[in-house]
Structures are given as C-alpha cells and as structure tokens.
Amino acid sequence: MSQQSSSSQEEMKPIDWGKILHEDKMTLDLLDAALKPGRKLREMDKNVINSFIEDLAMIDEKVKAFDFHNNLQLANQASLISSNIQDAIMEFILALDLLDTEHKLEPKDIEFIRRRFYACLGNGQKYIQEALQQFP
Amino acid sequence: MLQSSSSNYDESALLSQEEIKTLYTIIDTLHNIQKQLIPGPGIRELMKLNVSGGKHTIDMYIGDLGEIFMHLEDLKEKPLPPDLPLSIGDTFAKSIETIYILIRDAIKHLNMAVGNAEEFNRIQLNGQVAEKDAKDINTNNALFQENVERCRQLLKDAEKKAVVLKIPDTVPNNPTEKAG
C-alpha cells in the first residue's frame, strides 16, 4: 500500500516540478525576449545586465535546492538548467567587463569590444534558451 | 508516385500558402532595406542621426529585421512533416538557420553603426577641440560606412537564401500533404 502511494507520488513529480519552477521559466522567457536582436541591445547598460545576473543566480540557487527524491531524470534536467544558467552568467559578466573596458579605448578598439559585447549577450541568450528547453 | 524521387521536392513545399506569402514579404523587406543601404548620399544622410532622422530610419530597419528574426525563430521550432525525406528536411532547416544567423548579424552591424554615428555626431556637436577628435571623426565615419556595408552584404545573402525557399510555379505543392 505504502509502495503504491510512493509510486503515484513519483508520477506526480514532473507536474510539481513544472509548477514550482513556473515562475523561473517565466523569468527566463522574459530574459530571452529582452536579449533578442534589436535596438534594445544597444541600450543595454550595466544596471540591466546586473539585474539579469541577479535573476539568473536566484533561479540557479532554487534549482540546486530542489529535492528530486532520487528522480534521476529530473535531477539531470535540473543539472543542465543549472549548468546553462552558470554559463549565461559567465557571458554576462564578460559583457560587463567589456563595457568597463571600452571607456578608455580608441574608436577602432571600441568597435572590436562592441562586437564581442554583442556576441556575449547573444551567447548568454543561447544558454538561457538551452536552459528553457529543459523545462517540462 | 509523388514521392518517387527527391528531386520532386522543393524546400518551399514545406511551407503553407500563408507562410509562402509571408516569405514573399520577407524577401521584399530584405530587398528594400539593402537597397536603401547602397553606398551613396543616402548613407551620409543616415549618419546625421538626429538632424535628418537617421536614427529613426535605422531603428525602423532594425524593427523590421527583428520581426523577420522572430518569425524565423518560430519557423525553426515548427516540426517538419515526419515522412519527409531527410535530405529535404535537412536542407530546409539549414536554409532557415542560415537566414536567421545572417539577419541576427545584420542587426548587430546596424546597432554598431548607430554607435559610430552617435560618436561622430557627439564630437561634431561639441566642436572639434583636439587633433584626436578629427581622427575619431574620421574613424567613426569609416566604421559607420563599414558596418552599414557589412549589414547590406548580409541582407543580400539572406535575400538570396530566402529566394531559394520561394515556391517556383513549376513545383507542385507539398507532396506529403497530398499523399496524406
């Protein structure tokens, strides 16, 4: 009897997982939309990127703290989400460094830095999209 | 019989009539924007961001390209018919992916061009105060032209790729649909 109830609990977990992380998925969707190529990217400044990093770090923390009750599939999904989020954070930190650097440079160098800046935002978005794919 | 040879297929057969109409609009948009970016006096006007409304025009281009980008993103996620020969699905997916990347990069270059023009206009507005400013004006001018030209080339490539997806009159509609 107890085994039966435990197995039906197992079946319910994917739904719980989706429900619990619904808000996180919505946040990732919003970040993904904000990073779509367009003029908004031109207006990205340190404050916006810092808020992205904070949001991502919070999601990562939640994903890591989640109890998967030995459900390997969910644990793997969570681990992929976490790894993609960490990669996205790294890209945004790099983007922040690039913004800091460009103040002291000649136009030709600024151009190079800008290209890398946009590439970093694009990579960050790619990792966010990969994380999103792991959501049920 | 309709599926006797893969040469009977065309990538466009994967698109519905509605999507083909959208594809025609996309090709028109790409063509029009890249025509506006042909080197000449128009580009010089475009560089005067605030005086001649250059910023508004570039942002309009970015907006139009952004819409195409989103549409391609949706198209990329759309499942292909399951009984399609692999080579056709693969070619179609690759073409969409290529146009998607070309447009993303074109937008990136337009954004960088705005950055160059902003700096150019800023120095001119403040009045040239040092020898360095003259150099920066020239560099930003050159970079603006380079970015606009790079964007135009990317849009031309995207247009060429999109034209290949267009349905030729001689090619039948989606053979899989007919078969199903």
| Secondary structure of B59-84 as H, E, C letters | HHHHHHHHHHHHHHHHHHHCCCCCCC
Q: Stretch A122-135: mean pLDDT, rounded?
A: 93
List the one residue out of B157, B162, B149, B158 whose CA is nearest residue B37: B149
- Confidence category of residue B3, pLDDT binned at 50, 70, 90: very low
Q: Which residue has the higher pLDDT, B154 or A13?
A: B154
Set of chain B residues whose Cβ sits within 8 Å of the Cβ of A40 = none
Q: Stretch A126-135: mean pLDDT, rounded?
A: 92
- Confidence category of residue B179, pLDDT binned at 50, 70, 90: very low
Q: Nearest 5 degrees, angle CA B78-CA B84-CA B89?
A: 55
Set of chain B residues whose Cβ sits within 8 Å of the Cβ of A118 = 108, 111-112
Q: Which residue has the higher pLDDT, B100 or B178?
A: B100
Q: Stretch B1-24: mean pLDDT, rounded?
A: 62
Secondary structure (H, E, C), B104-138: HHHHHHHHHHHHHHHHHHHHHHHCCCCHHHHHHHH
pLDDT greater than 90 at residue B14:
no
List the one residue out of B156, B89, B108 whose CA is nearest residue A42: B108
% of chain B with per-residue pLDDT over 90: 48
Amino acid identity for residue B34 in this structure: Q
What is the spatial distance between Cα B163 and Cα B30, in angstroms, rounded to a whole number? 11
Set of chain A residues whose Cβ sits within 8 Å of the Cβ of B140 = 107
Question: Residue B54: CB partners within 8 Å, gap ≥ 6?
Answer: B45, B46, B47, B48, B117
Question: What pTM did the predictor assign?
Answer: 0.82
Chain A contact for B62, CB < 8 A?
Answer: yes
List the one residue out of B36, B113, B29 whose CA is nearest residue A118: B113
**In the numeric block, which tokens belong to residue A52?**
């992205």
Q: Is A58 helix (H, G, I), strand (E, B) or coil?
A: helix
What is the spatial distance between Cα A104 and Cα A128, in angstroms, rounded to a whole number? 31
Amino acid identity for residue A26 in this structure: M
Contact (CB, 8 A) for B65 and B103: yes
pLDDT greater than 70 at residue B124:
yes
Contact (CB, 8 A) for B137 and B128: yes
pLDDT tens-digit map of A33-63: 999 999 999 999 999 999 999 999 999 998 8
B5-9, B11-15, B73-77, B115-119 — which is least confidently predicted?
B5-9
CA B170 to mean position of chain CA atoms: 27
Amino acid identity for residue B86 in this structure: L
Tell me, what's the pLDDT at A20? 65
Residue B30 CB burial class (10 angstroms; 0-12, 13-18, ≥19) = buried
Contact A115 B108 (CB under 8 A): yes
How many helices (H) and strands (E) chain A has is answered by 6, 0
What is the spatial distance between Cα A40 and Cα A35, in angstroms, rounded to a whole number? 8
Out of A39, A111, A122, whose CB is closest to B62? A39
Tell me, what's the pLDDT at B180? 36
Tell me, what's the pLDDT at B1? 31
Name the residue of chain A whose CA is nearest to B146's CA: A111
Contact (CB, 8 A) for A59 and A32: no
**In the numeric block, which tokens belong to residue A79?**
């681990």
Tell me, what's the pLDDT at B19? 83
**In the numeric block, which tokens belong to residue A90?**
């790294």
- Confidence category of residue B13, pLDDT binned at 50, 70, 90: low
Mean pLDDT (chain A, rounded):
86
pLDDT greater than 90 at residue B88:
no
Tell me, what's the pLDDT at B109? 97
